[in-house]
A = this chain, B = another copy of it.
Amino acid sequence: MINEKMRMLGAKRSVIRELFEYGKQRKAEIGYDNVYDFSLGNPSVPAPKEVNEGIKKLIESESSLALHGYTSAQGDASVREAIADYINKNYDAGVRADCIYMSVGAAAALTSTLTALVNEGEEVIVLSPYFPEYKVFIEKCGGVVREVRCDDRLMPDIPAIEKAINEKTAAIIVNSPNNPTGAIYPEGIIASLCDLLRRSSEKIGHPIYLISDEPYRELAYDGVKVPYLTKFYDNTIVCYSFSKSLSIPGERIGYALVSPSCEDFISVYQAICGAGRALGYVCAPSMLQKLIPLCLGVTSDISIYDRNRQILLEKLSEYGFDMVRPQGAFYLFIKSPSGDATEFCERAKKHEILIVASDDFGCPGYARLSYCVTTEQIERALPAFKALAESYKE
């Protein structure tokens, strides 16, 4: 018996994890500092002091039963109130506490939202390149992945999305700042996309939900603002995580937020609660929930990622690598000089540089470089990048 699909998912490591494991082994062989590992999107900047101070404060001030006991399934009411206030202060989005469902990280927010909105055989549009787990999550709830390539600037290709929409389209996932490209979609493109979604929903006779996956919202550089999508489109569900902004990815705390203007608000919110329940999410970790109001508006030191980005952009361009300037997250999406992603990554490996081939992101010909590493590692790696570039000129 056993569910064979699940076994396969457990047996097959992702390409990213595979490379990470190779890196661990290689570091043991030739020394930690001699391998330039840019494989994982794991924050390298410590959590801001408010995180550990907040936990200590909670332990000292709250009773054990209140702090470690069940919260309601949708999350502690005062925590959701604080998050709604923060969002309204920053984005003037008019959200309410009862729009928010506290989740065990963004992944749980995504699986609960997809399970709530997608029926067997319905389609979910993803913009390639995209985070590979989207495919796992969509297929788990019986949905069909409909990939639409971004344009050459790595922005949503509106005409291509229009062609992909049909009566079976249930939702589209948007991820800005983007993993793996670092792109931030500007207001103009978001507005065009939302216009299309409105027109198409009308045409096909049911709403197309816009699922905004936002773990990197705070990681934006060059003074760029990340548009708040509920203000552009009523049928929006935001899936947010505190993993990257607070450097606490292991703690699994985030939320799903249903736009208060969503046309079937109560049903959508109830379905997300029901899906969370059916997937086994009793409540999001209680102490971590209560930590959030003490950390809203705080981030770990993002300037370190920005410095890494600037060094890499300057030097890699100088060496002759081709890439679109990323404005957010902590990823650089580099064109393979040979046009072949795997060839590029294998050749990089010979220079002890670990970067991820783009094929698993649903898009050939690139490599993803995660620059959430120390600046020292980047500086140490520069001669290897130079040698890698030169190897293509021989």
Roughly how many angstroms separate A10 CA and B116 CA in the complex, as a whole number?
A: 10
Contacting pair A1 B247 (CB below 8 A): no
Interface size class of A (residues with CB under 8 A): 35 or more
Q: How many copies does the complex hold?
A: 2
Chain A, range 1-34, C-beta contacts under 8 Å to B:
1-3, 5-11
- The residues of B that contact A51 with a CB separation of less than 8 Å are 64, 68
A140 interface residue per 8 A CB criterion = yes
Question: Which of B7, B115, B282 contacts A270, CB < 8 Å?
Answer: B7
Roughly how many angstroms separate A226 CA and B149 CA in the complex, as a whole number?
A: 57
The stretch among A52-60, A216-224, A362-370 that forms the contact with chain B is A52-60
Chain A, range 86-137, C-beta contacts under 8 Å to B:
104-105, 107-112, 115-119, 122, 133, 136-137
A302 interface residue per 8 A CB criterion = no
Q: Classify the interface of chain A: helix, strand, loop or mixed.
A: helix
Question: Which of B170, B264, B278 contacts A6, CB < 8 Å?
Answer: B278
A47 interface residue per 8 A CB criterion = yes
Q: Which residue of B lies closest to A171 (CB)?
A: B1
A391 interface residue per 8 A CB criterion = no
A273 interface residue per 8 A CB criterion = yes
A146 interface residue per 8 A CB criterion = no
Contacting pair A10 B280 (CB below 8 A): no
Roughly how many angstroms separate A267 CA and B11 CA in the complex, as a whole number?
A: 8
A304 interface residue per 8 A CB criterion = no
Known contacts A10-B277, A275-B10: does B104 contact A250 (CB below 8 Å)? no
Distance in Å from the Cβ of A246 to the closest Cβ of chain B? Answer: 8
For the A-B complex with A1-B207, A2-B271 known, give 4 more contacts whose Cβ atoms are closer than 8 Å.
A1-B117, A2-B264, A69-B249, A285-B288
